[in-house]
Structure 1
Amino acid sequence: MTEPSTLTGQITTRQLREQLSDVLGRAAYAGERIGITRHGKLSAVVIGVEDLEELEEFEMSQDLAAYRAAKAEDDGERVSAVELRRQLADDAS
């Protein structure tokens, strides 16, 4: 996996243990996004609260847009769980 372009840098889990306070400060106050690697592969990212809140807001807006699209496409027809299972079984065979 290549480093995402939005990361400021990467450190290993060993470096993270040694530099945790610095990494947290960089994420919280400088807005950096720091990738954490394990066995040479990106395994986590440390971000500040502001970044997290922005990501959650974006995710919520995407969910809301999907809900509105689904609601607009709803034809009002309903099927029972039994009927749905039957249709799925028929489609599988």
Structure 2
Amino acid sequence: MGHDPVYLTRRGRRVAAVIDADDLEALIAAAENLADIEAAKAARAEVADGEATIPWEQIKADLGLS
């Protein structure tokens, strides 16, 4: 991300920003990766707390892959 954003203001307060499209794509990818990491942490915590897991064969059957 090497481009500076351009801020749009109203009465001296920032209300929006215009950013490079590639920078936006990188930010979206980073946010999605962070959400995946958080979901994985939560799943591991559930397993550690004794939550029942779903067998792989059941997942495949539910998705029509078996």
TM-score range, shorter chain: 0.5 to 0.7
Q: Does 1:69 align with 2:41?
A: yes
Match of 1:52 in 2: 24
Instruction: Specify the alignment match of 2:14 in structure 1.
Output: 42
Q: In percent, how many aligned pairs have the same letter? A: 23
Equivalent residues, number: 48
Moved over 6 A (4+): none
Q: Which runs of 5+ in 1 are unaligned?
A: 1-29, 78-93
Higher RCO (CA-CA < 8 Å; seq separation 6+): 1
Q: Which runs of 5+ in 2 are unaligned?
A: 53-66
Q: TM-score, normalised by structure 1?
A: 0.47
Q: Distance in 2 between matches of 1:34 and 1:49?
A: 13
Q: Secondary structure at the match of 1:58?
A: helix
Distance in 1, Cα, partners of 2:16 & 2:42 = 33
Compare the two structures and name the one with the higher helix fraction.
1
Aligned positions of 1:79-90 closer than 5 A? none
SS in 2 for 1:32: coil
Q: Which has the larger radius of gyration?
A: 1
What RMSD, in angstroms, separates the aligned Cα atoms of the two structures? 1.7
